[in-house]
Amino acid sequence: MSLSYSTLPGDIDHLIADDHAIVERQFQHLEAGRGNRRVLVDQISFELALHAFAEETVLYPLWDKLGMSDDKADAQSEHQKLKELLVVLDKSEPGEAGFEQALTELIAETRHHVQDEETKELPEFRDKVGAARMAELGKEFIAAKRKAPTAPHPAAPNEGVKEKIAGALAKPLDQAKAALTGKKKELATDASGLLHPQAQAIIDAHSSLGPLPFEILEPAQARKQPGPREAVLKVMAEKGLEGPEQVGSVEDLQVPDGAGGTQTLRVYKPDGVQANAPVVFWVHGGGWVLFTIDDHYDDSCRGLTNKTGAIVVTPDYRRAPEALFPAAHDDVLSAYRWTVANAASFGGDPTRIAIGGESVGGNMSATTVLALAEAGEQVPVAQVLVYPVTTGEQFGESMEDAADGRPLNRALLSWMAMHYLEGMPEAGTDPRIDLLGWTEQQRAAMPPTLVITDERDVLRSQGQEFAKRLSVAGVATTERYYAGAMHEFFGASAVFELAEQAQQEAAQHFLSAFGPTADAHPTDGTVTIAPASPGGTA
């Protein structure tokens, strides 16, 4: 199921539907007999416990006041049944008759509950409370999750103040139990069984660090959580590998941002770099909220420096919610223009500059190119977009089949967008967010483009669609798809062979544009797909 009407990323009904999509995909793994059944059920139990508590303390108390008392009674009754089934599942093991019967009933009951909410109750609620209040309630919904018990408590009150008190008392007990059983170490993993073994090792390592769900935290809290770099470092330590990858030099410069202040531009140079070296302008990701140039994007920059022999520069743009849209976009554009004007000062060739980035960095790379083209300025000679954000809409099948992906799931994507685009409902149609809404003339302004996508990634479909539209517009376009990989895999080349392969592809794309064979790129627009089963061992 999915909502049949438009919502904004932070609206309470949007957030509820995200939770539904995540659990539905986990149910599908269980029904298909793939993945780790014990971990999948434990994750579902955790997610439903937080979800039910937030609904019962934020949403349902309003339904009486809006003449939806019957809906509230039905929903609470369904929640009660779900909690009782989850207790059975917690006390039994996969393969046991009681476990399998309870799981079958849980799936059926949850799907019935979701259908009622998404087709009847949530649309009615939005109509009665008004669209303007949905974002405020969305914030309350997320805040309630932070206070929720992390396991089902069928005997606890299921509404209002009493439930909040019960939740506050139950949460530390639930956390202590999870720590003792080891469940807490598996709550952030990908239990689908669809990842490449080396990718699975990275995601397992991240989960073993015990991060709280980013999507229920305040940004300042989320930034303190272990992220992808900590996961890669843990796997490297287990394998006895040293890091980071060494380059010739690293220097931080202060350059103008987009608001009259300054930002850091980090400059990576390879060993033996010559004067007038080509330049790669690389933009990090993090959903406009998380991460900086000191995180795992540092590994991407080091890898590209050594693989291209180019100078790689990366801007440390402002983040939300401290700086809202279009602050990050403005900073990236400002840093790129500074790079063109000052490339010679750090040994770069201003006529051979390429651009690229990961996730929202891919978005801001393409929108920087568009801004330059529309201003009549020289555009980069090539671009690489790694699992880019190309629309603010929940686009394509990957929003369903990768809804439960890690480290980026559908709920976290909404959390990021709500913080960067807060208070700006019109931003979703701005061409700096909605790349899929570009005209053919705008798309045709792009240089030769490599788009990298991966299987377990909610952004996969929109990245692939953007590649197709560039090709139709006549842009020399290559799309590489990596089965078994996840969002944020590109910087993990030290421990993931597909990341190494992706970096090599990106480097070759840049080198073809920099060197005498740059005209070897096709000019009629092509889309090619990498092998669907890359293989490899852990």
Active-site residue, 457 included: yes
- CA 45/CA 155 separation, integer angstroms: 16
Omega of the bond leading into 219 within 30 degrees of 0 (cis): no
Tell which phi-psi region holds residue 435, choosing left (phi > 0), alpha (psi between -120 and 50) or beta.
alpha
Strand ranges (DSSP E) for 359-426?
Answer: 383-386
- 509 is annotated as an active-site residue: no
**Of the listed 113, 419, 487, 521, which one is catalytic?**
487
CB 491 within 8 A of CB 523: no
Largest CA distance in the chain: 75
For the chain, the first-to-last Cα distance in angstroms comes to 36
Is 270:347 a contact under the CB 8 Å cutoff? no
Q: Is 365 one of the catalytic residues? A: no
Buried b (16+ CB within 10 A) or exposed e, 433-445: bbbbebeeebbeb
Task: Kindly report each contact of residues 46-49 with a partner whose C-beta sits within 8 Å and lies 24 or more positions away, as own/partner.
Answer: 46/150, 46/151, 46/183, 46/187, 47/19, 47/22, 47/23, 48/23, 48/82, 48/86, 48/110, 48/152, 49/86, 49/148, 49/149, 49/150, 49/151, 49/152, 49/174
User: Would you say 495 and 241 are in contact if contact means Cβ atoms under 8 Å apart?
Assistant: yes
Q: Residues 323, 327, 332, 335: what is their CA dihedral angle, to the nearest 10 degrees?
A: -90
Alpha carbon of 438 to those of 22, 245, 357, 382: distances in Å?
Answer: 30, 38, 19, 19
Q: 403: helix, coil or strand?
A: coil
Catalytic residue among 192, 359, 471, 512: 359
Residue 410, φ and ψ in degrees, nearest 5: -65, -35
What is the DSSP pairing of strand 277-283 with strand 383-386? Answer: unpaired
- From the candidates 190, 299, 454, 457, which is the catalytic residue? 457
Would you please indicate which residues are annotated as catalytic (active-site) residues? 359, 457, 487
